[in-house]
């Protein structure tokens, strides 16, 4: 059965969608962007033209023209008497268009593979006979890998046993498993906003009702809002990225971590710390914000530190929680592939070397992108970050979505700020990863400057109709 989105919800998701050009095409582009970002999943029934027109303050003719444009590009299908439904994307990669060999895809904030990875693959492949002699199904993970992960935590000053570690096929699998096991329908789940969008999707899918706490590049976590949210909603879980938060790059101060831990304890909330970017320090490793907080569930992964295609992650949690997760896991998957686990064991032994290479690569990207953006777009607010994978750039108008569409037409693929929002907003922000090669990042800054002049050409003079209604 098709899912549905109401006119009010679609209007909120569209955010500050108006840009230059015909209004109907700007609306069609904004809906296309929702499809490309997977915020509108395939087979979603769209509101009737009259309903969406009323929600956006537009004429029905304008919405009808937008829907017609979407039909022409095969983003929706309309059936007389049944309405319009979004369609699966016609290509596997929703970003790169055929024939755009020089396109820059910054939708995924993932560094290229660590240079030594192919050699490790070869070493492990030489022992393939031993690997294939195993059963191949293990919902907890290889003992050797769990020991290696536990050792890594102990080196950070966190006493950990192998029994407190469960191996997963990447961090996203870990998030989905935690959401499914620890969240009941209608439970409150507290998240930062902006946040990692696939985490928000996972908790929504599990039936959680999301509560957001703002985090900004300049001021960090809004502690007043956080304390009020914990006390008022008593969330079952709080999913946070305390170190090099994605997308802002902020790391919690000891004061912030203590305040959040205290509020969570009073509310009886389980803290989940996503540490997938925690080892991507550029200017020196920060202290662990939750080092002194007992019972925090931690998520780790090799996706950012080694390679996004290596699907190995883990959960560190109290042993009784690990037992619950293992018991429920077969509904979701039957374990992490043996080969990848064996590769992960070798990589964890080389993490000092890997992290140093990553730091150098990210430093070059961060410095080049920061300088290029500040030179090309001096009115933008480009933050200072000490690690992580991206800049959460502040725009001087709420035109993130039109900017992304204008850049897309010039071969630069990014996700609009609203993609990272929990409850709408962030139209004045753009996540720009610095994980790509320096030449690509400098070219991306030039494309953004050109695209901004297009997106803002009608954005700063008040000619947008009822912009405040959708921002």
Asked whether residue 35 is assigned to any structural domain, the reply reads yes
Residue 187, pLDDT score: 97
- Residues 136-167 have pLDDT tens digits of 778 999 999 999 999 999 999 999 999 999 99
246 lies in the same domain as 145 = yes
> Residue 469 domain-assigned?
no
Which CATH number characterizes residue 72's domain? 1.10.10.10
Q: Does residue 180 sit within a domain?
A: yes
Q: How many residues does the chain have?
A: 471
Identify the domain boundary among 296, 318, 349: 349
- Buried b / exposed e over 216-233, threshold 16 CB at 10 Å, is ebeebbbbeebbebbeeb
Residue labelled with tokens 């928000």: 200
Q: Tell me if 471 is assigned to some domain.
A: no
**Dihedral, 226, 229, 232, 235 alpha carbons, nearest 10:** -110
Are 379 and 321 in the same domain?
Answer: no
203 and 315 belong to one structural domain:
yes
**Structural domain includes residue 466:** no
Cβ–Cβ under 8 Å, residues 19 and 459 = yes
pLDDT digits 0-9 by tens, 373-411 = 999 999 999 999 999 999 999 999 999 988 998 999 899
- The C-alpha angle with vertex 24 and arms to 23 and 27, in degrees rounded to 5, equals 85
Enumerate residue ranges in the chain where pLDDT < 70. 1-2, 16, 19-21, 90-101, 458-471
**Rama region for 25: left / alpha / beta (φ>0; ψ in -120 to 50; rest):** alpha
**99 assigned to some structural domain:** no
In a domain, 173, yes or no: yes
Same domain, 152 and 241: yes
Q: Is residue 192 part of a domain?
A: yes
In total, how many domains does the chain have? 3
Burial label, 356 (beta-carbon count in 10 A; 0-12, 13-18, 19+): exposed
Same domain for 157 and 40?
A: no
199 and 340 in a single domain? The answer is: yes
Nearest to 249 by CA among 344, 139, 370, 144: 370
Residue 9 is predicted with a pLDDT of 87
* 109 and 128 part of one domain: no
Return the pLDDT at 30.
Answer: 86
Q: Name the domain boundary from 349, 378, 413.
A: 349
Rounded distance between C-alpha atoms, residue 259 and residue 455, angstroms? 40
Question: Is residue 186 located within the same domain as residue 46?
Answer: no
| CATH code of the domain containing 410 | 3.90.1150.10
Return phi, psi of residue 151, to 5°.
-65, -40
Is-contact 76 90, C-beta < 8 A?
no
- Do residues 62 and 108 share a domain? no
Spatial neighbors of 467 by CB under 8 A, at least 6 apart, are: 16, 18, 398
In sequence order, what DSSP letters do the residues of 148-209 get, joined into one string? HHHHHHHHTT----GGGEEEESSHHHHHHHHHHHH--TT-EEEEEES--HHHHHHHHHTT-E
Q: Which two tokens stand for residue 154?
A: 């102990």
pLDDT for residue 90: 61
What is residue 41's predicted lDDT score, i.e. its pLDDT? 84
Q: Which of 276, 442, 275 is closest to 373 using CA atoms? A: 442
Number of other CB atoms surrounding residue 161 within 10 Å: 13
Residues 220 and 269 in one domain: yes
For residues 109 and 205, membership in a common domain is answered with no
Judge if 146 and 176 occupy the same domain.
Answer: yes
CATH number assigned to the domain comprising residue 306: 3.40.640.10
- The structure tokens listed for 150 are 């536990």
> For residue 102, what pLDDT is reported?
86
Q: Give the 3-state secondary structure of residue 344.
A: helix
Sign for the pseudo-dihedral over CA of 139, 144, 147, 152? negative
At 136 the pLDDT is 78
Domain holding 342, by residue range, is 119-349
């Amino acid at each position: 059965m098709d899912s549905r989105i109401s006119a009010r919800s679609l209007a909120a998701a569209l955010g500050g969608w108006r840009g230059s050009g015909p209004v109907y095409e700007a609306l069609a582009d904004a809906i296309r962007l929702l499809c490309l970002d997977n915020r509108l999943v395939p087979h979603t029934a769209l509101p009737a033209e009259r309903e969406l027109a009323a929600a956006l303050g537009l004429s029905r003719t304008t919405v009808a023209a937008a829907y017609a444009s979407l039909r022409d590009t095969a983003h929706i299908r309309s059936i007389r008497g049944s309405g319009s439904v979004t369609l699966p994307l016609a290509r596997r990669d929703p970003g790169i268009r055929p024939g755009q060999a020089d396109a820059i895809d910054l939708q995924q904030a993932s560094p290229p593979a660590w240079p030594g990875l192919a050699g490790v693959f070869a070493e492990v492949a030489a022992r393939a006979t031993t690997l294939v002699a195993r059963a191949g199904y293990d919902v907890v993970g290889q003992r050797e890998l769990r020991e290696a992960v536990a050792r890594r935590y102990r080196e950070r000053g966190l006493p950990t046993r192998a029994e407190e570690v469960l191996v997963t096929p990447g961090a996203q699998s870990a998030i989905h498993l935690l959401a499914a096991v620890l969240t009941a329908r209608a439970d409150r789940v507290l998240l930062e906003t902006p946040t990692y969008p696939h985490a928000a999707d996972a908790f929504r899918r599990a039936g959680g009702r999301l509560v957001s706490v703002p985090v900004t590049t300049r001021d960090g976590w809004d502690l007043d809002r956080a304390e009020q949210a914990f006390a008022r909603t008593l969330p079952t879980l709080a999913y946070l990225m305390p170190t090099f938060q994605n997308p802002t790059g902020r790391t919690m101060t000891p004061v912030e971590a203590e305040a959040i831990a205290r509020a969570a304890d009073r509310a009886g909330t389980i803290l989940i710390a996503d540490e997938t970017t925690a080892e991507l320090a550029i200017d020196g490793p920060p202290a662990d914000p939750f080092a002194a907080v007992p019972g925090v569930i931690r998520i780790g992964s090799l996706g950012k530190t080694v390679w996004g295609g290596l699907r190995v992650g883990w959960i560190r949690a109290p042993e009784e929680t690990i037992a619950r997760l293992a018991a429920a896991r077969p509904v979701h998957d039957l374990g992490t592939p043996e080969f990848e686990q064996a590769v992960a064991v070798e990589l964890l032994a080389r993490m000092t070397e890997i992290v140093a290479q990553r730091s150098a690569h990210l430093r070059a990207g961060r410095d080049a992108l920061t300088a290029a953006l500040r030179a090309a777009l001096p009115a933008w607010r480009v933050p200072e970050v000490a690690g992580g994978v991206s800049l959460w750039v502040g725009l001087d108008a709420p035109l993130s979505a039109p900017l992304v569409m204008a850049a897309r037409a010039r071969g630069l693929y990014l996700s609009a700020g609203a993609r990272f929002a929990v409850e709408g907003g962030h139209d004045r922000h753009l996540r720009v990863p610095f994980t790509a090669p320096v030449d690509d990042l400098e070219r991306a800054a030039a494309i953004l400057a050109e695209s901004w002049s297009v997106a803002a050409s009608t954005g700063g003079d008040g000619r947008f109709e009822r912009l405040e209604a959708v921002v």
